[in-house]
Structure 1
Amino acid sequence: MKLKSLILGSVAAAGLSTAGFAADLGVLTSLDVCDELGLSGLTISSDTNCLQISGGVSYEFNWGDFRTEATVARTHDSNRAVSIGNAPTDWNSKVEAWLKFVGTASSDFGPAKAVIKLKSIEFTRVNRGELDAVAGVDTVVDNDGERDGVYIDEAYVSIGDSTVIMAGKKGSIANLGDDEPFNYLGLFGSDGIDGKGVGIDGDTTYLGGHVIQVVSDLGNGVSVGVGLENLNGSSDPLPLSAANAPFTHGTLVGVVSYAGENLTAHLTGAAFGILDGTVESWAVHAGATGTFDAFKVRGAIAYWDNVKFNGQTALGRKGIAAGVFGEQDLLNALVSVEGTFDLFKIALSGEVASVSGAVSYTDFGVGGSIGVTVTEGVSINLGARYFQDGLAVDASDDTFQVSAQLVAAVTETLKVTGEIGGYFGDAVTTATAGDNIYYGNVGLDWAPGGGFTSSVKGEVNSESAYKVTFKAAKSFE
């Protein structure tokens, strides 16, 4: 007889004995495999498996004159830009949806899982400032490089508890955190990194995908992991090669992480293109965040050896001729400090990016901010950041940004945010070379509960650009 039947039978028998005793047993009227596995949320259970279902839908619409851009800073990986007006209006519309199923059963080695995540992105962009050379009409782009229709975003199996083995299609085990600056404007170089931080733009291109991974919790906040990733080969050939050649396939990833009460830290290493027996390139990423009473201190560093760039898309702005490949070694580091006091918060950050190889140079930047609580629910943020392009031919190209932001909670579910600021420096290139750019925006965020969020934001700048953005999203689990 199954344990579930035995327990429910005992409860039913006890409930028939006395009415008063039965009233105290309402908490034991249901026990299935989901309860046994400690799983909750939206679930469906059979005798042996618990199926968890989660999902979400988000929508974004942009309208205005914003598609044409001007450079405000030249960083080691790409240009930072802002919109400039060119008269015709532009717009885009994007719907993103996902649905995730996790089937779990118990085993002698721990929970055994099968995970399937379906995703769909529909995106349409209309750029009226750019004409199709053949048709002579406004450029209309569907999905803009995104996957079209419903596709499988994740599909993998896993087994284990403190040690977990995973195989299939999923994200990377690489830890690339503890590297985002604390000041509210961030840093120019950091903004170009996936999720902000240290590294290079697109540093997750060769991570995840088809994988075989093992992670283990060693206790006392220490965890380790090793994985073979990108076994299917990246769909994006840069930055390792100009074509998706076989030598870009396969990435060996190793990671050690620590999460304590006042300290988080990690070290991640990766070797790229290993399936042909030769390590084509390698990288390390390390970061740590310490909390000491009212202060937080964060430091991070990333190094990528022997990166091959196509000058036409990555280093072309740095003087490499189009189509020429430059093998570079990249070192990117960041440090940030934050102090929180009764009525205000202060943050300072600095970054450096050193590139050596066919073309060598060093970029650096600093930033800081002060946040002041005016009254309950109302705060002001004052921020500034500076960036210097270190390449010899662009030695005078620097950028300075200042900003003032007001955040006010109108109600418990409604928040208003307003910001004004400007970009200054030799790197700012507009319709009139060397112009400064001033901007302002105001936004309204609404979170009435139930997992629903929505916002509307309007932006304008001194280059006649303007943009209105509407967003709405809801997830469930």
Structure 2
Amino acid sequence: MKLKSLILGSVAAAGLSTAGFAADLGVLTSLDVCDSLGISGLTISSADNCLAISGKVAYEFNWGDYKGNWAPFALAARAGTRNVIDNDAGATADLNNDWETKVETWLKFVGTASSDFGPASATIKLKSITQTVFTNEGAPTVGGDATTNGAGSNGAWIVDEAFVQVGDTTTLMAGKKGSVANFGDDEPFNWLGLFNSDAVDKGVMFAKDHPRTGGHVIQVVSSLGNGVTVKAGLENLDRDSAVGAFGGFYDGVTAAQSAGTLVGVVEYAGEGIAAHVTGLAGGILDGVVEDWAVHAGVTGTFDAFKIRAAGAYSANNVNDTYWNVLGSAEGNFDMFTIALSGEANGGTNNGVALANQAGFGASVGATVTEGVRINLGGRWFDENTDVANTEGYQVAAQVVAAVTETITLTGEIGVYGSTRAVVAPASQTDFYGKAELGWKPGGQFESSLGAEVHQNGAYKVTFKASKEFK
């Protein structure tokens, strides 16, 4: 006991002596500021600021005969043109190949320090897109083109995000960034998804960008506890008349009139339940609400089952309306997964009713052996429920096999079809097949090589490679 007491006393004395010596020399004895703020990854720290750095480079190359200017077959609009690739019908022989090359890059810096109100940060995200597209080998005599698209100008770096943020359970944000609007909990569970859902960015949605969100914003997000979060934002403050007149959803509304969107969100995340309601009022800066919209979704997870319901509604001040609803369910039974989904939408244009549309989809997935999974699915869509022969469909089968821990092989065969009458050379069906070899060796590097061919003569080979760091 005496020896133990002597050792403990010596250690304590040495610790006090070292601490005093360190204090005399001004040595920092606290945790690194990034650790104290709970920030990990690629960081640089000073005495009171932590700079987190992240970024990504993604490359994609496509080659083949896939950018034709004729309808591949008479599918309903939602079911056809957004899902089937075309060959260049009518193109001069030896001048019908298409290709495109794209490099997308972003670099993000987040500088964070502590404050009396919680962490205070400034975010800057730079982005560049360089893309060159050739149709029909760029030959204008056969309707081809060579176009280049970029963020700003081709390959130019632009400021994609630049905003400040402060707070913990309640956060204030201001600057250039994305929206606080929640448009989630609305994607179908079935493997192929749904046709109209694909057309509006995987879910239920009103006309794209109406009301407009994000851009220059002032936002507040607050957690109320018990899984409830509320959000409010004044967004789209940077619209100006130089952009020109709006078309499409608006009739004669200028860009300046559409400036300013008020966003409000209530979210809940609890045991097995996720739900939200998002409301938007657009164009409020001129004192007149040009358009407004509501988006809601709920997902429930109960042991082996999941159910989802979602809906969206929008309107403007020239009697245009749009509604869209979706329901989906999924069950997991040992090696099988079964999913069913349905959707419907409609609306008015200048007060005149548009055609009501509806669709459904179903799929069965099975893990047949370790690392091998089979998916079978189909989807159907009716462009006008009051008129005969306006339907389109897709049926497909897929095999996903993990060849090794880093290599995955995916194969798919299927057919798109239509009940519409057709005129040659179009067809009521388009059988297709595609395969992809994916490689993920680690280090956030991903690459893939894929190819697809279609009955209508179209074909495409795609190579992708990307690396993210954070």
Determine the structure 1 residue equivalent to 2:3: none
Structure 1, residues 254-307: CA drift from partner, whole Å, max 9, x if none? 000011120100000000111100011100000000011111000000001128
Distance 1:431 1:116, change over 3 A: farther
Determine the structure 1 residue equivalent to 2:287: 277
Determine the structure 2 residue equivalent to 1:304: 314
Structure 1, residues 378-404: CA drift from partner, whole Å, max 9, x if none? 111010111001176x64211121001
Quick check: 1:328–1:359 contact (8 Å CA) kept in 2?
A: no
Determine the structure 2 residue equivalent to 1:329: 321
Question: What CA distance in whole angstroms lies between the structure 2 residues aligned with 1:410 and 1:373?
Answer: 15
Compute the displacement of 1:73 (Å): 4.1
Report the 3-state secondary structure (helix = DSSP H, G, I; strand = E; otherwise coil) of the residue aligned with 1:83.
coil
Compute the displacement of 1:33 (Å): 1.5
Compute the displacement of 1:74 (Å): 3.3
Compute the displacement of 1:104 (Å): 0.6
Report the 3-state secondary structure (helix = DSSP H, G, I; strand = E; otherwise coil) of the residue aligned with 1:275.
helix
User: TM-score, length-normalised on structure 1?
Assistant: 0.85
Alignment of 1:235-254 (within 5 A): 237-238=246-247, 239-241=249-251, 244-254=254-264
Determine the structure 2 residue equivalent to 1:315: none
Structure 1, residues 416-437: CA drift from partner, whole Å, max 9, x if none? 0000000122348685244311
Which one of 446, 457, 460 corresponds to residue 464 of structure 1?
A: 457
Question: What CA distance in whole angstroms lies between the structure 1 residues aligned with 2:183 and 2:408?
Answer: 31
Compute the displacement of 1:75 (Å): 5.1
Structure 1, residues 23-82: CA drift from partner, whole Å, max 9, x if none? xxxxx9772221221211111111221111110100000000001153664357995341
Compute the displacement of 1:328 (Å): 2.1
Question: What CA distance in whole angstroms lies between the structure 2 residues aligned with 1:307 and 1:404?
Answer: 46
Alignment of 1:333-348 (within 5 A): 333-348=325-340
Which one of 438, 441, 445 corresponds to residue 448 of structure 1?
A: 441
The letter for the 2-side match of 1:179 is: D
Compute the displacement of 1:348 (Å): 0.3
5+ residue gaps, structure 1: 1-9, 18-27, 309-326
The letter for the 2-side match of 1:473 is: S
Distance 1:41 1:13, change over 3 A: farther
Alignment of 1:226 with 2:245, yes or no, is no
Determine the structure 1 residue equivalent to 2:352: 358
Structure 1, residues 447-477: CA drift from partner, whole Å, max 9, x if none? 1100000011100010110000000111111
Structure 1, residues 300-348: CA drift from partner, whole Å, max 9, x if none? 000011287xxxxxxxxxxxxxxxxxx4211100000000111110000
Distance 1:137 1:435, change over 3 A: closer
Alignment of 1:174-253 (within 5 A): 174-194=181-201, 196-203=202-209, 206-233=212-239, 237-238=246-247, 239-241=249-251, 244-253=254-263
The letter for the 1-side match of 2:116 is: D
Determine the structure 1 residue equivalent to 2:399: 406
Question: What CA distance in whole angstroms lies between the structure 2 residues aligned with 1:12 and 1:381?
Answer: 68
Question: What CA distance in whole angstroms lies between the structure 2 residues aligned with 1:388 and 1:12?
Answer: 83
Question: What CA distance in whole angstroms lies between the structure 2 residues aligned with 1:213 and 1:11?
Answer: 51
Report the 3-state secondary structure (helix = DSSP H, G, I; strand = E; otherwise coil) of the residue aligned with 2:284.
coil
Quick check: 1:389–1:396 contact (8 Å CA) kept in 2?
A: no
Report the 3-state secondary structure (helix = DSSP H, G, I; strand = E; otherwise coil) of the residue aligned with 2:84.
strand
Report the 3-state secondary structure (helix = DSSP H, G, I; strand = E; otherwise coil) of the residue aligned with 1:463.
coil
The letter for the 1-side match of 2:335 is: L
Quick check: 1:109–1:159 contact (8 Å CA) kept in 2?
A: yes
Moved more, 433-442 or 234-243: 234-243
Alignment of 1:151 with 2:174, yes or no, is no
Quick check: 1:77–1:200 contact (8 Å CA) kept in 2?
A: no
Compute the displacement of 1:242 (Å): 5.8
Question: What CA distance in whole angstroms lies between the structure 2 residues aligned with 1:151 and 1:450?
Answer: 27
Question: What CA distance in whole angstroms lies between the structure 2 residues aligned with 1:92 and 1:403?
Answer: 27
Report the 3-state secondary structure (helix = DSSP H, G, I; strand = E; otherwise coil) of the residue aligned with 2:419.
coil
User: TM-score, length-normalised on structure 2?
Assistant: 0.87
Distance 1:12 1:82, change over 3 A: farther
Compute the displacement of 1:157 (Å): 0.5
The letter for the 2-side match of 1:181 is: P
Question: What CA distance in whole angstroms lies between the structure 2 residues aligned with 1:58 and 1:457?
Answer: 16
Quick check: 2:79–2:393 contact (8 Å CA) kept in 1?
A: no
The letter for the 1-side match of 2:234 is: L
Aligned-pair RMSD on alpha carbons? 2.8
Alignment of 1:65 with 2:65, yes or no, is yes
Quick check: 2:284–2:290 contact (8 Å CA) kept in 1?
A: yes
Quick check: 1:166–1:214 contact (8 Å CA) kept in 2?
A: yes
Question: What CA distance in whole angstroms lies between the structure 2 residues aligned with 1:430 and 1:48?
Answer: 71
Compute the displacement of 1:411 (Å): 0.6
Question: What CA distance in whole angstroms lies between the structure 2 residues aligned with 1:75 and 1:137?
Answer: 23
What is the percent sequence identity of the aligned residues? 54
Structure 1, residues 94-148: CA drift from partner, whole Å, max 9, x if none? 0000000001111111111110000000000000177537xx7841000178753
Alignment of 1:376 with 2:386, yes or no, is no
Alignment of 1:35 with 2:42, yes or no, is no
Compute the displacement of 1:372 (Å): 1.1
Question: What CA distance in whole angstroms lies between the structure 2 residues aligned with 1:104 and 1:353?
Answer: 45
Distance 1:146 1:11, change over 3 A: farther
Determine the structure 2 residue equivalent to 1:323: none
Quick check: 1:303–1:332 contact (8 Å CA) kept in 2?
A: yes
Q: Which has the larger radius of gyration?
A: 2
Pairs aligned (count): 437
Distance 1:108 1:398, change over 3 A: same
Question: What CA distance in whole angstroms lies between the structure 1 residues aligned with 2:468 and 2:206?
Answer: 31
Alignment of 1:10-25 (within 5 A): 14=15
Which one of 82, 97, 110 corresponds to residue 80 of structure 1?
A: 82
